[in-house]
Amino acid sequence: MPFLKTDIHGLLLFEPNVYGDDRGYFFESYNAKTFREQAGIDVNFVQDNQAFSSFGVLRGLHYQTGDFAQAKLVRVLQGEVLDVVVDIRKDSPTYGKTYSCILSGENKMQLFIPRGFAHGYVVLSETAEFFYKCDNFYSKQHEAGIRPDCPQLKLDWKIDLSKATIAERDRNWPSFGQHL
């Protein structure tokens, strides 16, 4: 099965079957039937987003609140990122638990992030192209976040945050526990 469980309920790594030959490669990056039947993921993705960034750009930790919460399927088309999530589901036994993994154009791994997680990533390669599907539309009025240098979470971003490029908005999000 191409789905690898993490130690956080509902958070799954997807490792697609990649078929390569002298022409290049082919793989199915998303198939609703496969996701539904093999992982129990039954979502209706309604929005695709793509971002290009250079080394040290840190985006996150973002989430949408209330009825605008989003599940995401994230991957890297080119380059390499450290992808980080935080379980912010207050009724979850893993509330406050973090998970991180390397996503790259080379490993083609994808992370399925259910609703109820804050999400962010930092670019570890010279550049990276990041792509993700969302099951709900973006709403500026419902955007929220947790500061990436949150002392309670003690996240290891694999780079010196003093040298990271972080949006002022992301630097000013509250810490975990003060975020909702």
| Residue 151 belongs to a domain | yes
Q: Which domain holds residue 8?
A: 3-171
Instruction: Evaluate the omega torsion of the peptide bond into residue 61 and state whether it is cis, within 30 degrees of 0.
Output: yes
**Catalytic option among 62, 63, 99, 119:** 62
How much is the pLDDT for 178?
86
Total domains, the chain:
1
* pLDDT < 50 stretches in the chain: none
Contacts of 32 (CB under 8 A, 6+ apart): 42
How much is the pLDDT for 177?
86
| Residue 180 belongs to a domain | no
| Residue 134 belongs to a domain | yes
168 alpha carbon, distance to own chain's centre: 20
Length of the chain: 180
CA–CA distance, 126 with 97 (Å, rounded to integer): 29
Share of the chain above pLDDT 90, in %: 97
How much is the pLDDT for 180?
62
How much is the pLDDT for 2?
87
Contacts of 152 (CB under 8 A, 6+ apart): 96, 175, 176, 177
pTM of the model: 0.95
| Residue 138 belongs to a domain | yes
How much is the pLDDT for 179?
65
CATH code of residue 28: 2.60.120.10
| Residue 176 belongs to a domain | no
Whether 132 is catalytic is yes
**Catalytic option among 63, 99, 121, 132:** 132
| Residue 147 belongs to a domain | yes
| Residue 178 belongs to a domain | no
CA–CA distance, 168 with 125 (Å, rounded to integer): 22
| Residue 19 belongs to a domain | yes
Sign of CA dihedral 149, 153, 154, 158: negative
How much is the pLDDT for 52?
98
